[in-house]
A = this chain, B = another copy of it.
């Protein structure tokens, strides 16, 4: 498939790709570049890459596949630095949670002799950093690729790479990706971040009470709202249009339920809550979550 893989950015996702590529024999050698000395030292200690360097430009020439695993806002500058050093015929990809914005930022630096296949593995946890990664993070999860043409050899080859890591692969346009992910990921995160802030700022409720009595539902929001702040700042700004559209729909819907509560109109509430329960069943049936009490999220 790809002989040499270069991962730029050795955090949760990058280090998990390294582990998964090694575990599944998806490439011959794995190189990791990360701008932080501390992260590089950690990766060396973990032994998950064949070569680790702070300067990605020093490794770019060796790689058949380069995957950018930095926050969305850094994709442009990192691409600008690395692309001039890449091998002719190599493939460039990324794992950004936003595709339209990243494509816009990276495209100006592209060369005609390399292929850019944007990607986004729908997987992650609330933890950050190389020690948070694990080899099965992508197993049975979807990876979305948004190439100009999905029949291109580079797009097909990258799809096979992700399948080798255990992922299921879906192709779609960047625009479609961004509205779908605004709905299933970006706005849920924004709402979780908001609610946790609201709770902490309620002067009628002490922070101690919020922490003590969080088991009633709130703690699940705090898990989501503990995700990497820099990455999420970039996601919301890069996918601004889709995020604002979905948020506005959400506020409309919340207002309708608020009105039903204010008027003590139980029937629409019951109907709504029954409908949402059905969606949960579909997600469990589709293997996207577990019905087990531990959510099937055990790390092995």
Contact = CB atoms under 8 A, between A and B. Distances in A.
A144 B215 CA distance: 12
A191 interface: yes
A286 B215 CA distance: 11
A192 B137 CA distance: 25
Contacts of A277: 225-227, 229
Contacts of A179: 202, 204-205
Contacts of A289: 214-215, 219, 222-223
A180 interface: yes
Contacts of A237: 261, 264, 266, 269
A204 to B, nearest CB: 5
A213 B188 CA distance: 13
Given A190-B257, A195-B191, A273 B229 contact: yes
Given A211-B288, A216-B185, A276 B222 contact: yes
Interface stretch (A44-52, A86-94, A156-164, A243-251): A243-251
Interface stretch (A4-12, A15-23, A34-42, A117-125): A117-125
Contacts of A84: none
B215 A270 contact: no
B272 A197 contact: yes
A181 B214 CA distance: 9
B185 A279 contact: no
A180 B213 contact: yes
A187 B183 contact: no
A282 interface: yes
Interface stretch (A24-32, A108-116, A145-153, A292-300): A292-300
A142 interface: yes
B270 A229 contact: yes
Interface in A226-248: 226-227, 229-230, 232-234, 236-237, 240, 243-244, 246-247
A233 B273 contact: yes
Nearest to A282: B211
A189 interface: yes
A230 B270 contact: yes
Contacts of A283: 211, 214, 219, 222
A281 B261 CA distance: 33
B224 A217 contact: yes
Given A123-B215, A125-B293, A213-B122, A280 B223 contact: yes
Nearest to A280: B226
A122 B216 contact: yes
A197 to B, nearest CB: 6
Given A126-B280, A188-B221, A240 B262 contact: yes
5 contacts: A184-B210, A185-B213, A187-B195, A200-B276, A236-B269
**Top-4 shortest CB links A-B:** A185-B216, A229-B273, A226-B280, A294-B294
